[in-house]
Each structure stands twice: as structure tokens, then as C-alpha cells.
């Protein structure tokens, strides 16, 4: 105990511990051994593992490792409850979500203390940030449920959602997953991380109190093996995962071809860019929040400091001074800034990475960590962009830094990463900050801020940070689908070679269309295309992997299209439509010859294609972004950005299948590599001339022909493609989903089922929502 005199002399903080008594009593009441929460009730405990307090090493409780049978029972309960829950209507569900929000608030202190005991995060954070955001998330989505029937009349629930969450924000990630899912009429089977399951079990209790019907929320505990069981379970319609990129990639592969929807929120190495005209004191406070919040165990932590050369020395010195004042220790103490690392395994991982790569720079650790599972706030300066620690996610309180000279160099360094989750930009010059924001490859950008979150604002990444958004209207896409049934696709077969070939005029071989020019296929092969009656209609080229690579290169070069104004893109789309319409008769007879369909149907396909072009010409400058009313001195702008280069496999409609993918993709500023209908490629090759006469810049649309199965793996595995779509066969869907795991590109595939999608779905697939938080108002 310090005397008053000593306190006065050191001006140090005394301890202000939060009592753990109630949380410990709750654990004792639970009998120390917990089962799962299935069909509205806790099951008996089975084979157990320990839940420990990382700050002290004490065992808090014993939790059950779920078996296959447990997961089956949970999925069955969720399945049984789903139809009724969806039918109960948005307004009825809103009441349940509202009750959950109120109960989270009522038990806020208990939740916060339990979270801190289990995870090691400072009570100040669990109390003021985690639990407050959890309540906000349930309130917000109670509202979404209330509005669903009126605002989203054409969308419906996906079914049973398997949700796997990490240990860094155990309750908050649960809320991010459960609230939108159940608001939209889905039911869930959720698995918390094995280190941090306690608040999920307390949440199970409030589900009972809130009147959540049996089976709507199910919680099973256990390690990654249980996660895998959920991922592979045939009764699950969707997987939502937050965690490491390694596991995300495995889940992508495991779900390939299964028809399950998937959203992945993975790792990051987010840049924190400080320009010399920044408000330095604020930037340093922001940086403390960016990297030392939650001991740096934050997927969007501002873990890479990029500071302009002229201020670097001063900035680092002031940062080290500030770090020296951080208080690290007992997370239950309300004066503590940095708590315990979640588990000794994670501590070893941090220590290992720093000892491996730290010597490339200068390591600063101005405060000591106490004994145990703690790691001191660390700055490693003087690294280069290619250094191990500049590239690898450390997931601890370790900031790495380098310097830049010009804004262009800052952007280049910021984007020199395989991740794309978040970024912070600090400058007092609004022009500079808002010039940089669109150039950053990231799902979230904070201007003069960091680590701000809200239920109304979309959160999620690009590149290897995953795909899908959580929060806002855009987050609901991940938990709904357009109403209506999908029907199985029967892929058409190319017409066989007849016994006697009737040759019509000159036998032409249609080339490929790459970079605005017709190109011979690299392999030199082609295939004869016959009409159903055996007429030889011509030859089409068989594209190879090399042709895909050439087409992608051409598409990558056509970046000017992404920067073109929406008005400009609309003009080009209208022009394509107009030129197609001038040649409608020619395309009609081509479709008739290829497929053997009637004149009326062929004509309808051409008219449909023209209409599609006009529709997306219309949309090009009308897909509004949004300014989200987040509870702060600012707004969160939701900007629709192009995805980049989209590869697409077309369905069997010779012209319609091609236009369906090209029109929305290029309307939103993407460049496309389209593989035409496999059975009927010759209308797509006729279309080259329409493109040539319509002011479409070279490389914006590239068209290949040939068997889809020879091209799907190369397209999906290509590192310079940001998304792949397929309306081809089920087998192609599976290849694409599996091979996309390499760079975790977005995929949109039909799994062999066809349905018509409203324009809004096409537009959502053709855009990435970037959320930009900007100070605004007072
Ligand atoms: P992890 O990705 O293994 O764990 C996250 C969740 O996935 C846990 O619930 C876990 O049980 C589950 N899981 C593990 N293997 C699975 C599988 N094969 N199938 C389905 N579910 C599975 O993360 P871990 O190992 O705890 O942390 C390792 C690194 O991952 C960290 O150092 C950090 O770099 C990163 N990480 C990133 C997070 C983020 O929010 N982006 C969160 C947690 C970790």
C-alpha cells in the first residue's frame, strides 16, 4: 500500500480494480462445467477443456468439446426452427432482437467483467467499447428486422448459418454474426473460439430470457475441429467466419462446390499514414488506439506506421514518450491501458515473430511487461516495406514503421501488402486526405481516426483480408438471397459433327478478343461449330492458360476505365446497345443457327441483351453510395468502388449470357475477361465488331472461347483477378471456388442452379463498398 505522501510524490495512479465477484459467482452457479446451448437449453457437459484467465493463469471453468453428434443436433435444431422463425415476420423478430439489446445493457457489467476475465482485455475497453457496441448492434438490427418486410420485400433468409468467431472480440463478433442473421429470419449454430467462450454462454442465457424461440440460436463450444464440423455439415446453408487468413483459406476450399454461401473476415496489416501537416498530438493518440487497443489483437489494427520523412524523428520520439506512459497489467484494473495476451500460445507467436524479424530495425520497448502472459508495447522503426514484420500480421502490441517522402509513395507503400482491410490517413489538409482515401486498397478508411466501428457502417476487406461486409444495409446481403426458386442448369452440348458436312461459304475461324484486338489462340487450336442440322457454321478458337494470362494483362492495363466518370461509362454502354440494335437481325439469325431455337426466341434474346445494356447504362451513374449516421462527430461514407478485373464464365445463351456479365461489370468500372458460351461461342465472337465500333477502350472487355473446364482453374487461380463469376456448370463452380482460395478472390457462382437476379444483386457483385469515416459536423 502506498502512503498518501508517496502517491503525491510520484503522482502515480493507484489501482482501481473492478470486482470479479459477480462474474465468478455466475460461473459457480453454472456448475463450473458447461455444456452447449442447443434447442433453447444447456446440454450436459461432455469431454471438457479448460477456460483460463490469461492474466493470472487461473482456471475459470470447464467447457465441452463438441462431438459430431453435438453439431448434428445443433444443426437439426436450427433447421427445425428456421421456417417458422422466418415466417414469424420481421416485426415479431424485431421485438426479440430489441429484448436482446435491452438485456445486454441490463447485464452490461457482468458481460464486461466476464469478457475481461476470459480474454485479458482491459475492463475499460470491454465495458466502454465491446459491450456498448454489442448492444448497439442488436438495437440496429432490431430495426432492420422491423423494416425488412417493407424495405426488402424481394429478399429472404438463407436458412441455417454456421458462424465461427475468434477470440479477440468474443462477444462483439458474436453480435456481428448473430444479430443480422436472426434479424433476416435465419437460424444459427455459432462456435466461439476455444480460448474465449464464456460470454457466448452468458449470451445463451439471455437468449432464454429474451424469448428467442428454441433452436433459433445454438452455441457449441470446442476447438478448430468443431469449426471444421460446422463448415462441412451438409445441413448448413452459409458459413460466416472471422479469424486467420490461413483458416479462412481452408474454409474456402472445404466449402467449394457445396452451394454454401460464404463470408470471410480475415487478417490485416493496416497502414497508418501520417503526413507532415497532421495534428501530431492527435495522430499519436490515434496511434495508441490503433495498435495498443486490445493488445494489438485487432484484425484492422493500424499496425504499419508510414510517417512522412520530415517529421519522422520527432514523431517517433513523441510516440516513444507516449508509450512510456502506457499502463500495462491487471486488466480488471480500471486504470490499465494494456492487458494480457489472450493465451500463452499467442504470446509465443508474438515473441517468435519479433525475435525473427525485429533485428531488421530498431526495437523500442519503453515500458516493461509484468511477469506472465503480457507483452510490452513495442515500436520497431527503420524497417523497409519488404521486411518480414512489415508484411506479416503480428496480432500483438507491436507497431512497425517506415517513412515516405511523397503522397504517391505513401499510397504505394500502403498498398504493398497482400491484405486490404483498413487504413488510417492523418492530415489537416482535407484535399490531401480525400485524395488519398480512394487510392487505398482497403475496405475501411479512417480519416484522422482509427478503429472506429458502428452497426450502421459496413466493415470488411478486400484481397486476402476476405470478402463480404458486416454492418449496414450492405451487411444484409450476406444473410439474404433474392426470393424465388433456382432451377438446375442443364449445360448445352455443342452439336456433333454430322456424317456429311454442309459448308456454307467461307470457313472462318473466329479469333479471341484481347486488349481490343483479335488474337490467334496461343495453342493454335480451334473447334468446328455445327448447327443442330449439321451445317458447319465456322470454327472457334480454343483458348489456353496463356491466353487467359494475356487477357488478364490487357485488362489490368485498362485501369483508365475504372477512373473514367460514371457518365462516361454510361455513354459507352448506351453506344454498345445502339450498335447492337443496328445489327439485331444478324445476331438473331446467328442465335437461331447456333441453337436451333425459334425466330421469336432468338429475337427476344437479342432484344433482352439490348435492354440489359441500356439498363446498366442507366445504373452506371445511379448506384448511390451513402452517408451513414454513425454516433460520432462525423459520417461514414459508403462508396461503391469497382472490384477490379472480373473473370466470368457465361451461360448457354449465345449473346444474352455474355451481355449479362459484361454490362453490369463494366458499368461499375470493372474490366472483364469473359469466356463465352461453351456450346455456342459464335455470337460472342461476332460481338467483337460491336465493341470495336462503340468506343470501348482496349482491354476493358476481353472475350475468350473454348471449353470451360480447361480455363476455370487458371482463371480462378490467377493472382491479378479480383473476382470470378460463373453461370456455367456445377463442376465449373466447384473448381472456381476451390482455386480462388489462393488470393481469396471473390466468387459468384451458380453451383449448377440458375435463377434470375435483380439488377441490385448484379451491381452488388460488381462493386466493393469502401467505408470512409470522415469528421463532419459537431
Ligand atoms: P484461428 O483462425 O485459428 O481461429 C479463429 C476461429 O476459427 C476459432 O473459433 C477457431 O476455433 C476456428 N477454427 C480453427 N481452425 C478451424 C478450421 N479448420 N475450420 C473451422 N474453424 C476453425 O485463429 P488463431 O489460431 O486463434 O490465431 C492465429 C492468428 O490468426 C493470429 O495470430 C492472428 O494473426 C490471426 N487472427 C485474426 C483474427 C481476425 O480477426 N482477423 C482473429 C483471430 C486470429
**How does pLDDT run across 487-510, given as a tens digit for each residue?**
998 889 899 888 887 776 666 899
Specify the ligand 1 atom closest to the Cα of 465: 41
708 by Cβ neighbours in 10 Å (0-12 / 13-18 / 19+) ranks as buried
Specify the ligand 1 atom closest to the Cα of 342: 26
Q: What is the per-residue pLDDT for 502? A: 73
The alpha carbon of 466 and the centre of ligand 1 are apart by a number of angstroms equal to: 13
Q: How far apart are CA 635 and CA 637, in angstroms?
A: 6
The preferred substitution site among 244, 375, 461 for testing ligand 1, maximizing ligand atoms within 8 Å of CB, is 244
Q: What mean pLDDT do residues 461-468 have?
A: 98
What is residue 470's three-state secondary structure? strand
Residue 702 has pLDDT above 80, yes or no: yes
Q: What is the per-residue pLDDT for 3? A: 75
Are 332 and 117 spatial neighbours (Cβ–Cβ below 8 Å)?
A: yes
Which residues are annotated as catalytic? 265
Q: What mean pLDDT do residues 311-334 have?
A: 98
The alpha carbon of 394 and the centre of ligand 1 are apart by a number of angstroms equal to: 13
Reported as a pLDDT band with limits 50, 70 and 90, residue 1 is: low
Q: What is the per-residue pLDDT for 56? A: 98
| Percentage with pLDDT > 90 across the chain | 94
Interval 164-200: pLDDT, tens: 999 999 999 999 999 999 999 999 999 999 999 999 9
Which residue has its alpha carbon closest to ligand 1 atom 14? Answer: 224
The alpha carbon of 248 and the centre of ligand 1 are apart by a number of angstroms equal to: 8
Q: Encode 222-276 in three state secondary structure.
A: CCHHHHHHHHHCCCCCEEEEECCHHHHHHHHHHHCCCCCEEEEECCCCEEEEECC
The residue with greater pLDDT, 100 or 493, is 100
Are 212 and 174 spatial neighbours (Cβ–Cβ below 8 Å)?
A: no
Q: What is the per-residue pLDDT for 393? A: 98
Residue 2 has pLDDT above 70, yes or no: no
Q: How far apart are CA 144 and CA 142, in angstroms?
A: 5
CATH of domain 494-631+642-769: 3.40.605.10
Domains of the chain, by residue range, sit at 20-266+476-482, 271-449, 494-631+642-769
Residue 63 has pLDDT above 70, yes or no: yes
Q: What is the per-residue pLDDT for 676? A: 98
Tell me whether domains 20-266+476-482 and 494-631+642-769 share a fold: yes
The candidate with the shortest Cα–Cα distance to 358, out of 387, 330, 337, 315, is 387
Which residue has its alpha carbon closest to ligand 1 atom 10? Answer: 224
Q: How far apart are CA 522 and CA 482, in angstroms?
A: 41
Interval 150-167: pLDDT, tens: 999 999 999 999 999 999
Strand partners, 514: 517
**Phi/psi of residue 641, each to 5°?**
-110, 155
Q: How far apart are CA 192 and CA 188, in angstroms?
A: 12
* Pocket flag, ligand 1, residue 395 (CB < 6 Å): yes
Q: Encode 149-170 in three state secondary structure.
A: HHHCCCEEECCEEEEECCCCCH
The alpha carbon of 565 and the centre of ligand 1 are apart by a number of angstroms equal to: 41
* Pocket flag, ligand 1, residue 95 (CB < 6 Å): no
The candidate with the shortest Cα–Cα distance to 223, out of 66, 37, 70, 343, is 66
Task: For cell 444443426, name the residue.
Answer: 75
Q: What is the per-residue pLDDT for 504? A: 64
Q: How far apart are CA 355 and CA 529, in angstroms?
A: 63
Q: What mean pLDDT do residues 457-470 have?
A: 98
* Pocket flag, ligand 1, residue 250 (CB < 6 Å): yes
Residue 376 has pLDDT above 70, yes or no: yes
Q: Cell digits for 174?
A: 458474436
The candidate with the shortest Cα–Cα distance to 624, out of 757, 758, 760, is 760
Task: For cell 468474443, name the residue.
Answer: 170
Specify the ligand 1 atom closest to the Cα of 193: 9
* Pocket flag, ligand 1, residue 267 (CB < 6 Å): yes
Q: What is the per-residue pLDDT for 721? A: 98
| Percentage with pLDDT > 70 across the chain | 98
Are 683 and 590 spatial neighbours (Cβ–Cβ below 8 Å)?
A: yes
Interval 587-625: pLDDT, tens: 999 999 999 999 999 999 999 999 999 999 999 999 999
Interval 195-207: pLDDT, tens: 999 999 999 999 9
The secondary element (H helix, E strand) that includes residue 482 is strand 480-482
Residue 389 has pLDDT above 70, yes or no: yes
Q: How far apart are CA 682 and CA 688, in angstroms?
A: 10
Strands (E), 511-591: 512-514, 517-519, 526-530, 535-541
20-266+476-482 topology per CATH: Aldehyde Dehydrogenase; Chain A, domain 1 (3.40.605)
Reported as a pLDDT band with limits 50, 70 and 90, residue 296 is: very high
Q: What is the per-residue pLDDT for 505? A: 65
The alpha carbon of 231 and the centre of ligand 1 are apart by a number of angstroms equal to: 14
Q: How far apart are CA 73 and CA 226, in angstroms?
A: 13
CATH architecture of the domain 271-449 equals 3-Layer(aba) Sandwich (3.40)
Are 199 and 168 spatial neighbours (Cβ–Cβ below 8 Å)?
A: no
The candidate with the shortest Cα–Cα distance to 456, out of 441, 443, 469, is 469
Q: What is the per-residue pLDDT for 9? A: 74
Are 191 and 177 spatial neighbours (Cβ–Cβ below 8 Å)?
A: no
Q: What mean pLDDT do residues 45-66 have?
A: 98
> How far lies 14's CA from each of 55, 126, 133, 310, 377, in Å?
19, 20, 29, 39, 21
Q: What is the per-residue pLDDT for 14? A: 77
DSSP string, 92-157: HHHHHHHHHHHHHHHTHHHHHHHHHHHH---HHHIIIIIHHHHHHHHHHHHHHHHHHHHH-TTEEE
Reported as a pLDDT band with limits 50, 70 and 90, residue 530 is: very high
Residue 371: CB partners within 8 Å, gap ≥ 6? Answer: none
Task: For cell 459464335, name the residue.
Answer: 682
Q: What is the per-residue pLDDT for 500? A: 81
Specify the ligand 1 atom closest to the Cα of 164: 9
Residue 577 has pLDDT above 80, yes or no: yes
The preferred substitution site among 193, 247, 348, 350 for testing ligand 1, maximizing ligand atoms within 8 Å of CB, is 247
Which residue has its alpha carbon closest to ligand 1 atom 13? Answer: 224
The residue count for the chain: 778
Residue 453 has pLDDT above 70, yes or no: yes
The secondary element (H helix, E strand) that includes residue 553 is helix 545-557
Residue 692 has pLDDT above 80, yes or no: yes
Residue 7 has pLDDT above 70, yes or no: no
Residue 766 has pLDDT above 70, yes or no: yes
The alpha carbon of 642 and the centre of ligand 1 are apart by a number of angstroms equal to: 29
Specify the ligand 1 atom closest to the Cα of 250: 18
Q: What is the per-residue pLDDT for 508? A: 85
Reported as half-sphere exposure (CB side, CA atoms, 13 A), residue 577 has a value of: 21
Amino acid at each position: 500500500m502506498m502512503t498518501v505522501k508517496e502517491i503525491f510524490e510520484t503522482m502515480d495512479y493507484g489501482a482501481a480494480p473492478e470486482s470479479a465477484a459477480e462474474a465468478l459467482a455466475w460461473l459457480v452457479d453454472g456448475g463450473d462445467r458447461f455444456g452447449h446451448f442447443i434447442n433453447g437449453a444447456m446440454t450436459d457437459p461432455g469431454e471438457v477443456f479448460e477456460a483460463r484467465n490469461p492474466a493470472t493463469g487461473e482456471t475459470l471453468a470447464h467447457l465441452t468439446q463438441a462431438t459430431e453428434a453435438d453439431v448434428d443436433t445443433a444443426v437439426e435444431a436450427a433447421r427445425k426452427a428456421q421456417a417458422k422463425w422466418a415466417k414469424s415476420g420481421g416485426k415479431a423478430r424485431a421485438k426479440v432482437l430489441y429484448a436482446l439489446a435491452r438485456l445486454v445493457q441490463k447485464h452490461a457489467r457482468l458481460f464486461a467483467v466476464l469478457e475481461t476475465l476470459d480474454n485479458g482485455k482491459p475492463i475499460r475497453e470491454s465495458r466502454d467499447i465491446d459491450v456498448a457496441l454489442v448492444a448497439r448492434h442488436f438495437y440496429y438490427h432490431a430495426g432492420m428486422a422491423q423494416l425488412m418486410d417493407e424495405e426488402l420485400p424481394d429478399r429472404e433468409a438463407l436458412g441455417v448459418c454456421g458462424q465461427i468467431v475468434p477470440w479477440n472480440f468474443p462477444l462483439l463478433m458474436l453480435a456481428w454474426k448473430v444479430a443480422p442473421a436472426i434479424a433476416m429470419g435465419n437460424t444459427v449454430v455459432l462456435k466461439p473460439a476455444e480460448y474465449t467462450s464464456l460470454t457466448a454462454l452468458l449470451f445463451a442465457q439471455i437468449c432464454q430470457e429474451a424469448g428467442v424461440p428454441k433452436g433459433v440460436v445454438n452455441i457449441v463450444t470446442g476447438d478448430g475441429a468443431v469449426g471444421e464440423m460446422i463448415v462441412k455439415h451438409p445441413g448448413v446453408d452459409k458459413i460466416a467466419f472471422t479469424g486467420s487468413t490461413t483458416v479462412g483459406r481452408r474454409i474456402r476450399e472445404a466449402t467449394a462446390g457445396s452451394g454454401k454461401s460464404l463470408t470471410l473476415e480475415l487478417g490485416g496489416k493496416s497502414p497508418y499514414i501520417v503526413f507532415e501537416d497532421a495534428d501530431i498530438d492527435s495522430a499519436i493518440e490515434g496511434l495508441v488506439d490503433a495498435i495498443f487497443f486490445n493488445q494489438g489483437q485487432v484484425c484492422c489494427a493500424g499496425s504499419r506506421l508510414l510517417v512522412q520523412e520530415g517529421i519522422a524523428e520527432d514523431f517517433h520520439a513523441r510516440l516513444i514518450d507516449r508509450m512510456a506512459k502506457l499502463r500495462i497489467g491487471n486488466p480488471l484494473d480500471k486504470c490499465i491501458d494494456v492487458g494480457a495476451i489472450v493465451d500463452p500460445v499467442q504470446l509465443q507467436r508474438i515473441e517468435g515473430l519479433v525475435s525473427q524479424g525485429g533485428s531488421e530495425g530498431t526495437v523500442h520497448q519503453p515500458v516493461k511487461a509484468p511477469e506472465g502472459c503480457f507483452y510490452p508495447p513495442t515500436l520497431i522503426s527503420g524497417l523497409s516495406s519488404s521486411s518480414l514484420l512489415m508484411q506479416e500480421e503480428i496480432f500483438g502490441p507491436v507497431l512497425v514503421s517506415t517513412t515516405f517522402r511523397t503522397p504517391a509513395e505513401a499510397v504505394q507503400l500502403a498498398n504493398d501488402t497482400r491484405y486490404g482491410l483498413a487504413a488510417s490517413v492523418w492530415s489537416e489538409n482535407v484535399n490531401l486526405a480525400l485524395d488519398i482515401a480512394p487510392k487505398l486498397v482497403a475496405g475501411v478508411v479512417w480519416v484522422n481516426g482509427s478503429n472506429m466501428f458502428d452497426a450502421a457502417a459496413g466493415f470488411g476487406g478486400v484481397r486476402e483480408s476476405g470478402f463480404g461486409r458486416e454492418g449496414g444495409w450492405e451487411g444484409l446481403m450476406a444473410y439474404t438471397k433474392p426470393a424465388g426458386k433456382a432451377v438446375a442448369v442443364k449445360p448445352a452440348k455443342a452439336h456433333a459433327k454430322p456424317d456429311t458436312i454442309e459448308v456454307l461459304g467461307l470457313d472462318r475461324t473466329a479469333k479471341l478478343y484481347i486488349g481490343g484486338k483479335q488474337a490467334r489462340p496461343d495453342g493454335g487450336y480451334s473447334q468446328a461449330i455445327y448447327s443442330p442440322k449439321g451445317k458447319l457454321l465456322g470454327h472457334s478458337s480454343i483458348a489456353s492458360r496463356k491466353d487467359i494470362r494475356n487477357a488478364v494483362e490487357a485488362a489490368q492495363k485498362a485501369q483508365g476505365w475504372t477512373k473514367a466518370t460514371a457518365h462516361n461509362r454510361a455513354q459507352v454502354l448506351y453506344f454498345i446497345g445502339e450498335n447492337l440494335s443496328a445489327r439485331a437481325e444478324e445476331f438473331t439469325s446467328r442465335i437461331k443457327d447456333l441453337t436451333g431455337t425459334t425466330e421469336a426466341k432468338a429475337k427476344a434474346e437479342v432484344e433482352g441483351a439490348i435492354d440489359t445494356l441500356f439498363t446498366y447504362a442507366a445504373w452506371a451513374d445511379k448506384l448511390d453510395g451513402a452517408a451513414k449516421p454513425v454516433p460520432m462527430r462525423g459520417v461514414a461514407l459508403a462508396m461503391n468502388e469497382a472490384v477490379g478485373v472480373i473473370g466470368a464464365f457465361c451461360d448457354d445463351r449465345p449473346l444474352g449470357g455474355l451481355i449479362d456479365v459484361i454490362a453490369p461489370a463494366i458499368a461499375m468500372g470493372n474490366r472483364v475477361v469473359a469466356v463465352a458460351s461453351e456450346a455456342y461461342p459464335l455470337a460472342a465472337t461476332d460481338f467483337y465488331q460491336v465493341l470495336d465500333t462503340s468506343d470501348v477502350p482496349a482491354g476493358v472487355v476481353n472475350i475468350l472461347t473454348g471449353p470451360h473446364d480447361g480455363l476455370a482453374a487458371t482463371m480462378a487461380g490467377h493472382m491479378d483477378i479480383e473476382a470470378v463469376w460463373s453461370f456455367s456448370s456445377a463442376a465449373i463452380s466447384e473448381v472456381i471456388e476451390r482455386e480462388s482460395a489462393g488470393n481469396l478472390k471473390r466468387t459468384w457462382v451458380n453451383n449448377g442452379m440458375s435463377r434470375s437476379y435483380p439488377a441490385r444483386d448484379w451491381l452488388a457483385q460488381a462493386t466493393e463498398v469502401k467505408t470512409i469515416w470522415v469528421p463532419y459536423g459537431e
